[in-house]
Structure 1
């Protein structure tokens, strides 16, 4: 089948992770995504290493985010490059940026400048904190945004310091939200013939991820949630909810009546404890008792008892165990990409299916300026 966004042209003028990840999703759905990079150095993400692993002398992170795109190298401070870029804007449907507002305006990448050239453009922008907020000039860096957003107080146990996520959650969430907004903008432009400006911020995206918890907080006298003092997994969900160490690994257990769990675990001490206690007031002590019991046998032993009884539980896997368990193969989550220099490597696929079809593409990230000549750009 044809991909749904075939015929859509996107100029991805963004860098790092947030907006480029939106461009990646749009490319996987069939759009022609052209990555526009600064002459000489390109996207700083090319040299932003999350490990010591590189592909074709660029960061593996850059390849993961910018596969399936074409690449242009332009010095937008020069008139000739601006002419070439503006000619592309006339043919495009979407422009993506994630610069600070002052930088975008200096490079004529702000929404007003773009819409003067092509009023039908869907202009997608991510900033750290919004244009008019008191923090608009602050660095839009993921860890800093996590620290501001309150999300770090949902992780870790009660006595621990605030704990950030082990992923760039602000960047990833904002990229997903920008993608959603741009798709709505494309639909609107096709219906009305008019472009629009789609905006989100790293901070608002992380706040949106917490909408369940914030709804409770905002309607409950602004009372802060209290993290469990032992094996916290969600400050609003009581025992047994959490991850427990077993004799040979770890076991995750979700919501379940403690009395039923005590019976299945053959744990009369817990049954007796529950006769005079409750999960609302004694959640940490219940978790400690469960931990003392669960560590006496292997994960597989407990799964053999709990799964047939329809207890929501699972073995906690690391990445190697995920691979060994066949998760990548069974879900077809691994695809082979060929870099511009011919190097094959693995990455994940687009998680969206349409009519049962999985979308993949072997096209890797472009080398800096790889497609300049294909677009008739000789001098930048």
Structure 2
């Protein structure tokens, strides 16, 4: 691990910790991935027949080293231990691992780990120092507890999808699995907090998150307003909607050759710069009340020139503006190159795959990993030898 200046950090913060990752798809595995990036040894406990379901979840038909590229993106640097948790011998082998582990992560529906014999009470008795971490779709109680915990469904149920899109258009979900990934981040925060507490008390603990609670928390800015006002649902803007509670000009507008995002800006000053005299007379109390009328005037003006023309005019004047870039345009930016935002991982066969890297820097150092995701069950024999020899895995 090297810093921007070439400084090498000998140890990552979680070196020496072992994490057992029973989870599949995105939320749990993304949490375990971040712990691996920070130095933990992460062992995926997978069913022998097929393993993590994301091994076969192909995006754009992109395979890599026997599995989907998505699997490697979310499981790089991990190891694989296959076990049929309904088999007594395999369950005993897993319990031996649990006795040595520091963290256990799962994303089964409520009650499943108990039925498998690996519920909180059982595991705590096996290893009182263990941090036991679970992520579900809708929490442990309530009428939704057994619903499928899937990102698009949660975005739809939570109000997130409704927030996007113009007033006369349909709800628009985020193009990313935002509740999955953020729930994984929340779970990681809870795990790290319990590890800090363990360093003081010597005792482990339990942390639980859900996609729905994460989705609600993601909306704290908007919900904090809505919960304290006597109002129906707030109205989405009919023009360039980007935030139901922010005034004009906040939104994304078409230009002659692309799109331009405008953040918070004084409408009268923007009117001066754009040559729109009618906007200079709008008092601040009208910027929200008449936002669609204001935005429509801005939209029509911006469509007459190129994105770069408007950037050259607005940015030097202190107006917060940015072009809307697609991925090739982003990758062509010197700013993207300066971040060293990607890395290459290598399969056991020597093939390489370009992936994003851990976004965290430690002691000024970028955290990278050269290992792809594990082949199914590849490390079980090695880990069992370590257990037999009394070596801490």
Query: Which band: TM-score by shorter chain?
Result: over 0.9
Query: In the TM superposition, what are the counterparts of 1:140-219 in structure 2 within 5 Å?
Result: 140-219=149-228
**Which among 336, 348, 353 is matched to residue 344 of structure 2?**
336
Instruction: Show CA shifts across 1:142-163 (max 9, x none).
Output: 1111111111121001112222
Hey, what does 2:75 align to over in structure 1?
66
Runs of 5+ unmatched residues, structure 2: 1-8, 387-393
- Displacement of 1:277: 8.8
Q: Which residue of 2 aligns with 1:243?
A: 252
Q: Which moved more, 1:14-23 or 1:334-343?
A: 334-343
1:303 aligns with 2:316: no
Asked if the contact 1:97–1:109 (Cα under 8 Å) also holds between the matched residues in 2, the reply is no
Task: State how far apart, in whole Å, the 2-side matches of 1:289 and 1:84 are.
Answer: 68
Give the aligned partner of residue 99 of structure 1. 108
TM-score by length of 2: 0.93
Aligned equivalent of 1:293: 301
Residue 299 of structure 1 contacts residue 315 of structure 1 at CA under 8 Å; is this kept in 2? yes
The aligned counterpart of 2:89 is: 80
Residues 341 and 328 (structure 1), Cα distance of their counterparts in 2 relative to 1, 3 Å cut: farther
> Following TM superposition, by how much is the alpha carbon of 1:268 offset from its aligned partner in structure 2, in angstroms?
2.5
Partner Cα separation in structure 2 for residue 252 and residue 226 of structure 1: 20
CA pair 363-158 structure 1, distance change in 2 beyond 3 A = same
- Aligned-pair CA distance for 1:362: 0.6
Gaps of 5+ in 1: none
1:346 matched to 2:354: yes
| 1:313-328 alignment, distance < 5 Å | 313-328=321-336
**Cα pair 1:122 1:182 within 8 Å, conserved:** yes
What's the TM-score, normalizing by structure 1?
0.96
**TM-superposed deviation, 1:109:** 2.7
Is 2:32 aligned against 1:28? no
**CA deviation after TM superposition for structure 1 residue 327, in Å:** 4.1
The answer to whether structure 1 residue 312 and structure 2 residue 308 are counterparts is no
Deviations 1:94-125 (A, max 9, x none): 00000012322222232122112111110000
Count of residues in Structure 1 that have an aligned counterpart in Structure 2: 377
- Which residue of 132, 147, 153 maps to 2:141? 132
Residues in 2 aligned to 1:35 and 1:54: alpha-carbon distance in whole angstroms: 20
Give the Cα separation in 1 of the matches to 2:335 and 2:370: 21
Conserved 8 A contact 1:228-1:284: yes
Using the TM superposition, give the Cα deviation of residue 222 of structure 1 relative to its aligned residue in structure 2, in angstroms: 4.8
